[in-house]
Amino acid sequence: MNLGKNIPENDDFTSFLSREKYFSDHILDNCRSMISIINRDYVYEKVNAPFCNAHKEVADAIVGKTLADVWGQETFSKNIKQNIDRCFSGATVKYEASFTIPQTGQRFFEVVFRPFPVESGEITHLLAETFDITDLKLSEKIAVEKEEEFKRIEQMLEDRLLQAQKLETIGALAGGIAHDFNNILATISGYSELLQEDLPQASPSYQNVAKIQMAVSKARSLINQMLAFSRQVEQEKVIVNVYDVLKETIGFIKSAAPENVTVKSNIRKKNAPVFADPTQLFRIFLNLLTNAIESLEERKGIISVSMELVSGKKVRDELNKKIVADDYVLITFRDTGKGMDPSLIRRIFEPFFTTREVGKGSGMGLSVVHGIVTEMGGEVLVSSEKGKGSVFYVYLPVSAGSTNNFLVSGIRKRILFIMGNRHESNILSLALESAGYDLIKPSNKKDFVAVMSEKKFEPDLIIYMTDAENIRCEDLLGALHNRTSETQCILIEDPDIEFPEEKFVNSGLVCQHLIKPVSLKEIKNAIQLSIK
Amino acid sequence: MPGILIIEDDEELREMLKVSFSRRRYTILEAGNGKDAITHFKPGVTDLVVTDLIMPEEDGLKVIMKLKEIKPSIKIIAISGGGKAGPGSYLNLAKALGADAIYSKPFSVNDMVLKIEELLNIEQQ
- Distant-in-sequence, close-in-space partners of A77: CB < 8 Å, separation ≥ 6: A68
Report if residue B16 sits inside a domain: yes
Last residue in a domain, options A397, A414, A441 = A397
Coil/strand/helix, residue A102: coil
Report if residue A504 sits inside a domain: yes
What domain range includes position B92? Answer: 3-111
Report if residue B27 sits inside a domain: yes
The pLDDT of residue B87 is 45
Asked if B84's CB is within 8 angstroms of A186's CB, the reply is: no
Co-location of A441 and A502 in the same domain: yes
Report if residue A2 sits inside a domain: no
For residue A487, is pLDDT > 80? no
> How far A176 CA lies from chain B's nearest CA (Å)?
7
Q: Does B22 touch chain A (CB under 8 A)?
A: no
Read off the pLDDT band of A485 (50, 70, 90): low
What domain range includes position A163? Answer: 150-233
Residues of B within 8 A of A190 (CB-CB) are: 13, 16-17, 20, 106, 109
- Domain at A424, CATH number: 3.40.50.2300
Co-location of A161 and A298 in the same domain: no
Asked if B104's CB is within 8 angstroms of A193's CB, the reply is: no
Residues of A within 8 A of B19 (CB-CB) are: 191, 194
The pLDDT of residue A410 is 41
Q: Residue A91 in contact with residue A74, Cβ under 8 Å?
A: no
Co-location of A522 and A437 in the same domain: yes
Read off the pLDDT band of A447 (50, 70, 90): confident
Co-location of A242 and A378 in the same domain: yes
- pTM for this predicted structure: 0.55
Report if residue A47 sits inside a domain: yes
Co-location of A393 and A411 in the same domain: no
The pLDDT of residue A1 is 42
The pLDDT of residue A351 is 67
Chain segment A385-400, per-residue pLDDT in tens: 899 999 999 999 998 7
Report if residue A296 sits inside a domain: yes
Chain segment B72-121, per-residue pLDDT in tens: 999 999 998 765 444 456 777 787 788 898 888 888 898 899 999 999 98
Asked if B81's CB is within 8 angstroms of A186's CB, the reply is: yes
> How far B104 CA lies from chain A's nearest CA (Å)?
9
Domain count, chain A: 4
Separation CA B40–CA A321 (nearest Å)? 59
Co-location of A378 and A256 in the same domain: yes
Domain count, chain B: 1
Co-location of A440 and A378 in the same domain: no
pLDDT greater at residue A354 or residue A233: A354
The pLDDT of residue B84 is 44
Separation CA A81–CA A87 (nearest Å)? 10
- Mean pLDDT comparison of A302-311, A342-351, A401-410, A509-518, highest-scoring range: A302-311
- Complex ipTM tops 0.90: no
Write the residue in B82, B85, B96 that is nearest to A529 by C-beta: B96
Co-location of A441 and A505 in the same domain: yes
Residues of A within 8 A of B96 (CB-CB) are: 511-512, 529
End-to-end CA distance of chain B: 16
Q: Which 95-114 residues of chain B touch chain A by CB within 8 A?
A: 95-96, 104-110
- Domain at B14, CATH number: 3.40.50.2300
Q: Is A512 buried (19+), middle (13-18) or exposed (0-12) by CB count in 10 A?
A: buried
- Percent over 90 (pLDDT), chain A: 27
- Domain at A48, CATH number: 3.30.450.20
Report if residue A141 sits inside a domain: no
Chain segment A75-112, per-residue pLDDT in tens: 899 888 999 999 988 889 999 888 887 777 888 889 99
Report if residue B48 sits inside a domain: yes
Nearest residue of A to residue B10, measured between CA atoms: A183
Separation CA A423–CA A12 (nearest Å)? 105
Residues of B within 8 A of A231 (CB-CB) are: 85-86
- Distant-in-sequence, close-in-space partners of A449: CB < 8 Å, separation ≥ 6: A475, A479
Give backbone dihedrals phi and psi of A440, rounded to 5 degrees, phi first. -115, 125
